[in-house]
Amino acid sequence: MSEPSSFRLRPSALSRAWPWLAALTSGGLLTLCFPRWDQGWLAWLALTPLICAAFFSHTAGRRVGLRKAALGFVAGLVFFTSTFHWLSTTLSELYQNPWLLALAPLVALVFGFYFAFWTWFIGAVLVRADAARKFPRSLSNLATAAAGASAWVAHEWVRERLFGGFGWNGLGVALHRDLPMIQIAEFTGVPGLSFLVVFANLMAVIVVRRILGEIGPVFLKRVRWEFSLSIALIVLVWAYGVRQLWRNDLGPGVPLRVVAVQPNIPQTEKFDPAMQERIFSELAKLTGLAAATRPAAQLVLWPESSTPRSMFADDESYHFVLAQARALSGALLLGSTEFDPDTLADYNIAALLTPRAGQPRIYRKMHLVPFGEYLPLRPVFEPFCGELVPSDFRAGTEFTVFDLPDPLIRIAALICFEDTLGELTRRFVQKGAQALVNLTNDGWFAQSAAAEQHLANAVLRAVENRRPLIRCGNTGVTCAVDAYGRVDRWLRPFQQGFAARDVHVPTAGPLTFYTRHGDWLSHLSMLATAGVLVRALFAWWRGRGARRGSLADGAASR
């Protein structure tokens, strides 16, 4: 008795299904690379299923490119939805708004197009002919992998900037715990790490495909030096990192005694005027204990938006902050807000109060969080999430660097997720910042993976600029990251308290290559990607003309 045809696995069905399964697999593997799972080693192979689908899935007709792009879109949809799921779950619970459950899928729908572009680029532009998919030439293979890695870096650069930008979880960030590998960030920033990882994924597929295609009598007579060069590149990067970690020498420096206050105010209470007295009491208690520490604190940190209202909102708030600052022997750096009557605008600020200064020095946050500090396309989105962002902040325009009186060093304050932005952070170091301080409030995201993702992205700022990064959060993660990316956690998340530590601040270290030149690799990658696209367009146009000519000759001969 024969099996019903509906239960037979037909080869044609399998050939149609496996590329989509591969795309789903890559999306899942990429998710595992980042917190909360944090399996960064998977980054070295996470893209290989998607690359195989882009290179080897059999498609025909005029919509080949569209099908390749769809594979990338599926992988991106899985990755961004799962990685940013906290956008939906925590905010919908906090605001009791079911519409916010759609926030992560909406972000994924937009960001999925970046993956779609990349898969289309490698599958329909870089590798077009069947003969090319056998990858017989070493130099061509290296060029293909370099071009594919450049396209990945290019789309990450665009994602960080377009429509306000949200560059969290670039692929290179997955290596944040691999200390030897991330040391090259002082030259290339995160783009260099992303380039290296994508290059390795592409070469893994290309080399294996070439070996499988050349198995036979002449297998051992062929030299495949693209494999050797790829391994040599990875080993060279690793060896440089080991050397830097072994030397552990950034030149002369001074110890800075820092006290970070972690008040752990629940997000439901943080901006409630009725809770102001309680919040003041807890801040005063923790700051008083910090003032009693020995040796005395030279810098005391409060997190972003420390008080329920702006420190300038009324006399009570202002005098409270001023009294706490005067009780300290060192400086107080805190996060607050400010209303400018001249521009009629609100700003998210960091304020530094020192014993010798009459008025606080102010830094106005420059990079605002879309859907957090301002609502893009407010007329469109206000009916759905207007309560989440009832009014918009305005972005600051000055890279303000603060001078500490004791010791005589200069610090930069990065507010909220500004410490995830390499191009912005390096500008403060160019202005003379010798240490970086991040004031944040990740209490918005409860006990989700968001705070750990925030930290993972921030670690690379210290390595890129060879400057220590000190983080003070309302609910955590309160910690310090040294100039080599080593994280010293000071307090457990969602624990109220304070921590006193000495942080070594280099005073004579030169500016790194990345600090001086920024995202130079991203710019080169953009040019390389554009060059490949122009070349492909020219080849398509020339081929189209040749086909028209052959058709015309055929018609004339008839």
Q: Please list the pLDDT of the chain residue by residue as tens digits (558 residues).
A: 444 444 444 556 667 889 999 999 999 999 999 999 999 999 999 999 999 999 988 765 567 788 999 999 999 999 999 999 888 777 766 666 676 777 788 889 999 999 999 999 999 898 865 555 778 788 999 999 999 999 999 999 999 988 777 888 999 999 999 999 999 999 999 999 999 999 999 999 999 998 888 776 655 556 678 899 999 999 999 999 999 999 988 888 999 999 999 999 988 888 888 888 999 999 999 999 988 888 999 999 999 999 988 999 888 999 999 999 998 999 999 999 999 888 889 999 999 998 776 789 999 999 988 777 887 766 666 666 666 667 789 999 999 999 998 899 999 999 999 999 999 999 999 999 999 999 999 888 888 899 999 999 999 999 999 999 999 999 989 999 999 999 999 999 999 999 999 999 999 878 999 999 999 999 999 999 999 999 988 887 776 655 555 655 555 555
Which pTM was predicted? 0.91
> In the 3-class helix/strand/coil scheme, how is 342-384 assigned residue by residue?
CCCEEEEEEEEECCCCCCCEEEECCCCCECCCECCCHHHHHHH
Give yes or no for a contact between 121 and 78, defined as CB atoms under 8 angstroms apart. no
Query: 437 in helix, strand or coil?
Result: strand
For the chain, the first-to-last Cα distance in angstroms comes to 56
Nearest 5°: phi and psi at 334?
-140, 160
The residues annotated as belonging to the active site are: 304, 365, 416
| 345-353/331-340 β-pairing | antiparallel
CA distances, 556 to each of 382, 546, 549, 551, 553 (Å):
64, 15, 11, 9, 5
